[in-house]
Amino acid sequence: MTNNHKPPSSLKRGSAELAILAVLAEAPLHGYQIAKRIRQQTAGVVSFDVASLYPVLYALESRGLVKGEWEESATARRRRRCYHLTPEGRRRLKPLRREWRDFFRALNRLARLADA
């Protein structure tokens, strides 16, 4: 079941780093698989098209948080880039999760979302 209430695009852009690092903490994935996993794990509330993920992936790679490696696809006969979390990315994920948790708790208190 998917939720029709999507977060604003500005919030979504800010959450991309957390979303990507969180799914890569589970397993290495290709860009399309990253987008699919985010959509699946959030029941469709958070979704990114693959084209919007690549600039974030490149930025994370340049910061040393993820590493991308080219792989040959046995069936499609094409190269795909598979991304995995680096040790630095794992270290960054823990405080990032805490920051987002604290942010949403504060918003919840402010907006009294539990009363809505």
- What integer pLDDT is reported at residue 109 of this predicted model? 86
* Every domain of the chain and the residues it spans: 9-115
* Average pLDDT over the chain, rounded to an integer: 87
| pLDDT for the residue numbered 21 | 97
Lateral strand order in the sheet of 79-85: 29-30, 79-85, 66-72
Radius of gyration of the chain (CA): 16
Does residue 91 register a pLDDT over 90?
yes
pLDDT at residue 112 in the model:
77
Question: CATH fold of 9-115, please?
Answer: Arc Repressor Mutant, subunit A (1.10.10)
Whole-number pLDDT of residue 1: 43
For residue 90, what pLDDT band results from cuts at 50, 70 and 90? very high
- What is the percent of the chain with per-residue pLDDT over 70, rounded to a whole number? 84
- 3-state secondary structure at position 81: strand
What global pTM score does this model have?
0.82
